[in-house]
């Protein structure tokens, strides 16, 4: 760790001064400077070639060869090249001729060695706000004043027009010199921080006091608007003076600045000169951390590489309460790195500033602050590479260089053997666990993944599966790094797994307010209910029920989602994660789209351009967000619970297929009993449709638990009869549904209808051993037609087995009787008696056949053992 006063002795200059001050260059004819010798002595030549990858950059050696003769310079650059370490010159506009000559001298040698020509242009950019009267704020009395709360004299963002050409010309003069010499610049960076418009510390108050700012910023009292205006100006001056200025001369040049990178709208770190925001400034809390909102500025700067700052900032340690001290550093730094990794386009390199020693400690150091472990820091560096970062940019204090370069170079050098993955691989995860558990990162290349797993204090020993974009998976079996093959993901069976048992889901979109009502529901065989909170899970658990947790997957892998999953992830009653209900319907055919997007359901069905274009635009946002959210859930949930999404029955198949490989259970809702027309047989067709769309994912059907008059005032009150409810449930089951749920029961105003539903759920619950048992193939029901039989759909059959018992379900899907139903394929039952549950019919199977008669929409359930599989709940069956 730095000495307690190190940062304060250097103050602002500790970061802003170039390394020719921190490490004085050699005089003409002197040997290689000490800082460069430290780097060479602390590293070894690499065993694999860079092969087009960016080198490792080391800011403390920038400009250090100034004054070294050509022979020694060539030797030093050769030694650096052998270690895959880049070297940058420093442009000094105050000594242009000598600085340009040195830059071109180094560039010519770098060209001979095949090294990138790299430049530190930091000096040229300081300062837009140069402290002159003209750049300062103006108060109500016309008095000029500066904001000194950031460590310098900062002024008015609207008083910089005359400074932009000055800074631009400083940079451009060097660019012209390189262009005239025929030298292409490959890489140019700056560490430009405390200058230009900045919104932090006392800046907002200063801008509110400035008469010019008050006249220029319309909503100055709104911090978000204030921040947006300042960052817009800050981005523009960087673009004009630096970003576009460079690429206009050298279109292929990588140009960027410290801390400027794509992100998710938040910054997870504070620079050494920044204070925590005042209470009226929006933040997101995480433990004691206050993450600030941040404007998307990178896109407007003209920069061509992303440069996040992944440092061990001193305050981080006390932000979090992880017992594993290393995870306090690791967690925050991986948040920063993952933020950039996730949001930086794949064609934009990510070159993070990195630093290991505790950064910017106060004068009086709290001895409880533990130095980040060296091994864990190197582990972090690996995870950065496996989340899309391309190389590292080391910054450190002079007395830290030997350890710092050793740690980062070891990782970089070893990473060269995985160049193909790092150059072309696609990150598989950006998840950062909010507990000190297991962290998994990886790069996918074809059918292989370079994957790394790191286990912290709370990690479970179980293998961790990461589901990939195509629905396949890769498994991180234990800690360490390896190249693993991609495996097909195993489909979930669709059942609830609790206490070592499998249960066919019988669910309700309802959590009764009273425990008495919840107990009645549980007694009726309902085993799954909607649970939006930990408290509701507790209530379900108390009655032996399971719950599902609705999650806003369409919002992506947000901190809100992470908190929700972590809060309930270990709850014993939690059985399934539910995604957004009918999500595809909301951007294709929902009625409110007429007002929101200007088209109707008929327009969608006709595939009119306005409907298609809107849906494609929305899907392009929603689908990746849902995939990212699901990936986060799978990373956090150590119990590997299934993800379920329910859709409208006619939701678009093409869009559904886009997320289908990433979920475990699909399905749809359909409510067939209506006063203006009932279509019971649609349940089977709906189940078939979602079985086809689901590509092997089990289907849960959501059925009618209400009367349409509760949803639409124009409808007449009409609840499904018990027989109709029974038909819909069994029709779904014989078509392959692996779960049956009921929606709308919270609106029931006819108590006997609820009783009839409970009679049905109790009946289904009594059949649990069969509903989760073996489905027997080869059974079919043929019709022996009467002379004047109507054509129709026919009778659907399903034979289920539990140990030595069998259950035969027959469903007449026609609205007329079938008096000759010939069931064949029952050879396994030859000689055994089948008895009709809830009836008196019996039949002994001969030649694999059973013949029976069925009324319109009738259900018959036969079993080899009647009494054991009939419920005693009979109330409501006559409804």
Whether the Cβ atoms of residue 430 and residue 628 lie closer than 8 Å to each other: yes
Q: Dump pLDDT digits (tens) for 400-446.
A: 999 999 999 999 999 999 999 999 999 999 988 888 989 999 999 99
User: What are the structural domains of the chain?
Assistant: 6-123+165-194+237-422 (3.20.20), 425-490 (no CATH), 496-766 (3.20.20.80), 775-869 (2.60.40.1180)
Which residues 6+ apart lie within 8 Å of 765 measured at CB?
506, 524, 525, 526, 527, 871
Furthest-apart CA atoms within the chain: distance in Å: 113
> Is the confidence at residue 24, as pLDDT, over 80?
no
Per-residue confidence at 802, pLDDT binned at 50, 70, 90? very high
Looking at residue 459, its pLDDT comes to 74
- What is the average pLDDT across 673-692? 95
Q: Dump pLDDT digits (tens) for 278-333.
A: 889 999 999 999 999 999 999 999 999 999 999 999 999 999 999 999 999 999 99
Phi, psi of 345 (to 5 degrees): -55, 150
Q: What percent of the chain has pLDDT over 90?
A: 87
Looking at residue 353, its pLDDT comes to 98
- What is the average pLDDT across 235-262? 98
Looking at residue 469, its pLDDT comes to 80
Which segment of 201-210, 337-346, 366-375, 705-714 scores lowest on mean pLDDT? 705-714
> Is the confidence at residue 794, as pLDDT, over 90?
yes
In angstroms, the CA 692 to CA 351 distance is 46
DSSP string, 265-281: SEE----TTPPPPPTTS
For the full predicted model, state whether its pTM sits above 0.75.
Answer: yes
Q: Dump pLDDT digits (tens) for 642-661.
A: 999 999 999 999 999 999 99
Alpha helices in 455-570 (DSSP H): 515-523, 534-542, 559-568
Which segment of 156-160, 459-463, 755-759, 829-833 scores lowest on mean pLDDT? 459-463
Question: In a 3-state reduction of DSSP, which class is residue 668?
Answer: strand
Looking at residue 29, its pLDDT comes to 45
- What is the average pLDDT across 546-574? 93
Looking at residue 159, its pLDDT comes to 96
Measured N-to-C along each axis, helices 164-180 and 96-113 cross at an angle, to the nearest 10 degrees, of 50
> Is the confidence at residue 523, as pLDDT, over 90?
yes
Looking at residue 103, its pLDDT comes to 98
Per-residue confidence at 47, pLDDT binned at 50, 70, 90? very high
Per-residue confidence at 30, pLDDT binned at 50, 70, 90? low
* pLDDT top residue among 788 and 210: 210
In angstroms, the CA 23 to CA 31 distance is 14
Looking at residue 259, its pLDDT comes to 98
Per-residue confidence at 28, pLDDT binned at 50, 70, 90? very low
> Is the confidence at residue 3, as pLDDT, over 80?
no
- DSSP element (H, E) containing 763: helix 751-766
Q: What percent of the chain has pLDDT over 70?
A: 97
Q: Please state, as a whole number, how many other Cβ atoms lie within 10 Å of the Cβ of residue 804.
A: 8
Strands (E), 278-428: 283-286, 289-293, 309-310, 353-354, 393-394, 426-427
Question: In a 3-state reduction of DSSP, which class is residue 638?
Answer: coil
Measured N-to-C along each axis, helices 534-542 and 515-523 cross at an angle, to the nearest 10 degrees, of 50
Q: Dump pLDDT digits (tens) for 379-394.
A: 999 999 999 999 999 9
- Torsion angle in degrees (nearest 10) through CA of 200, 201, 207, 208: 120
The rounded mean pLDDT for the chain is 93
Whether the Cβ atoms of residue 503 and residue 496 lie closer than 8 Å to each other: yes
> Is the confidence at residue 7, as pLDDT, over 60?
no
- What is the average pLDDT across 499-518? 95
């Amino acid at each position: 760790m730095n000495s307690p006063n190190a940062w304060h002795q250097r103050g602002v200059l500790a970061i802003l001064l170039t390394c020719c001050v921190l490490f004085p260059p050699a005089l003409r004819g002197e040997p290689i400077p000490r800082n460069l010798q430290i780097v060479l002595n602390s590293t070894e030549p690499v065993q694999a070639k860079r092969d087009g990858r960016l080198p490792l950059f080391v800011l403390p050696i920038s400009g250090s060869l100034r004054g070294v003769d050509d022979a020694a310079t060539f030797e030093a650059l050769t030694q650096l090249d052998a270690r895959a370490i880049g070297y940058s010159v420093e442009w000094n506009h105050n000594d242009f001729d000598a600085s340009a000559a040195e830059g071109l001298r180094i560039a010519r040698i770098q060209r001979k060695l095949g090294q990138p020509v790299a430049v530190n242009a930091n000096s040229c950019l300081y300062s837009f706000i140069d402290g002159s009267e003209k750049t300062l704020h103006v108060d109500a009395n016309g008095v000029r004043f500066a904001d000194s709360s950031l460590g310098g004299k900062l002024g008015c963002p609207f008083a910089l027009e005359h400074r932009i050409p000055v800074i631009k010309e400083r940079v451009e003069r060097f660019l012209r010199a390189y262009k005239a010499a025929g030298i292409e610049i490959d890489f140019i960076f700056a560490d430009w921080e405390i200058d230009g418009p900045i919104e932090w510390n006392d800046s907002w108050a200063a801008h509110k006091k400035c008469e010019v700012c008050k006249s220029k910023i319309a909503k100055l009292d709104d911090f978000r608007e204030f921040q947006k205006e300042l960052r817009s100006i800050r981005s523009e001056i960087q673009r004009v003076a630096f970003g576009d200025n460079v690429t206009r001369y050298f279109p292929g040049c990588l140009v960027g600045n410290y801390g400027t990178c794509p992100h998710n709208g938040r910054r997870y770190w504070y620079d050494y000169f920044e204070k925590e925001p005042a209470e009226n400034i929006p933040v997101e809390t995480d433990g004691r951390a206050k993450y600030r909102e941040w404007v998307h500025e990178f896109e407007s700067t003209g920069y061509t590489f992303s440069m996040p700052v992944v440092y061990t900032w001193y305050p981080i340690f006390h932000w979090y309460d992880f017992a594993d001290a290393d995870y306090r550093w690791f967690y925050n730094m991986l948040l920063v790195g993952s933020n950039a990794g996730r949001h930086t386009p794949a064609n934009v390199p990510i070159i993070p500033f990195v630093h290991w020693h505790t950064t910017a400690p106060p004068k009086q150091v709290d001895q409880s602050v533990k130095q980040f472990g060296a091994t864990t820091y190197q582990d972090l560096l690996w995870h950065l590479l496996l989340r899309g970062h391309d190389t590292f940019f080391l910054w450190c204090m002079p007395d830290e260089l030997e350890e710092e370069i050793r740690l980062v170079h070891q990782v970089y050098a070893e990473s060269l053997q995985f160049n193909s993955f790092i150059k072309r691989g696609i990150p598989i995860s950006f998840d950062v666990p909010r507990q000190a558990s297991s962290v998994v990162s990886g790069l996918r290349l074809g059918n292989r993944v370079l994957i790394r797993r790191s286990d912290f204090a709370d990690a479970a020993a179980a293998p961790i599966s990461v589901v990939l974009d195509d629905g396949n998976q890769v498994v991180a079996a234990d800690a360490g790094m390896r190249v693993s093959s991609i495996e097909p993901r195993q489909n979930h069976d669709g059942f609830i797994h609790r206490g070592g048992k499998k249960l066919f889901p019988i669910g309700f979109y309802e959590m009764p307010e009273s425990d008495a009502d919840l107990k009645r529901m549980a007694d009726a065989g309902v085993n799954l209910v909607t649970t939006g909170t930990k408290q509701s899970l507790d209530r379900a658990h108390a009655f032996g029920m399971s719950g599902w947790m609705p999650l806003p997957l369409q919002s992506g892998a947000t901190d809100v989602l992470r908190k929700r999953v972590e809060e309930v992830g270990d709850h014993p009653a939690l059985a399934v994660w539910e995604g957004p209900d009918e999500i595809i319907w909301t951007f294709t055919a929902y009625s409110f789209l007429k007002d929101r997007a200007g088209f109707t359901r008929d327009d969608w069905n006709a595939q009119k351009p306005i409907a298609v274009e809107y849906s494609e635009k929305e899907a392009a946002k929603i689908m990746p967000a849902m995939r990212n959210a699901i990936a986060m859930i799978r990373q956090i949930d150590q119990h590997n619970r299934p993800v379920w999404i329910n859709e409208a029955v006619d939701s678009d198949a093409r869009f559904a297929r886009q997320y289908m490989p990433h979920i475990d259970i699909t399905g749809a809702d359909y409510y067939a009993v209506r006063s203006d027309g009932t279509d019971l047989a649609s349940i089977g067709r709906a189940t078939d449709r979602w079985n086809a769309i689901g590509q092997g994912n089990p289907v849960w059907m959501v059925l009618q638990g209400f009367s349409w008059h509760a949803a639409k005032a124009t409808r007449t009150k009409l609840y499904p009869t018990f027989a109709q409810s029974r038909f819909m449930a069994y029709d779904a089951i014989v078509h392959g549904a692996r779960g049956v749920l009921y929606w709308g029961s919270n609106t029931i105003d006819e108590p006997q209808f609820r009783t009839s539903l409970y009679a049905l759920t109790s009946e289904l619950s009594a059949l649990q051993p069969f509903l989760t048992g073996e489905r027997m193939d080869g059974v079919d029901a043929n019709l022996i037609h009467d002379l004047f039989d109507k054509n129709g759909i026919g009778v659907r059959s399903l034979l289920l087995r539990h140990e030595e018992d069998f259950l035969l379900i027959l469903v007449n899907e026609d609205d007329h009787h079938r008096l000759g139903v010939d069931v064949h394929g029952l050879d396994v039952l030859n000689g055994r008696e089948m008895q009709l549950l809830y009836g008196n019919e019996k039949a002994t199977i001969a030649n694999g056949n059973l013949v029976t008669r069925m009324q319109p929409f009738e259900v018959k359930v036969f079993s080899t053992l009647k009494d054991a599989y009939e419920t005693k709940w009979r109330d409501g069956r006559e409804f």
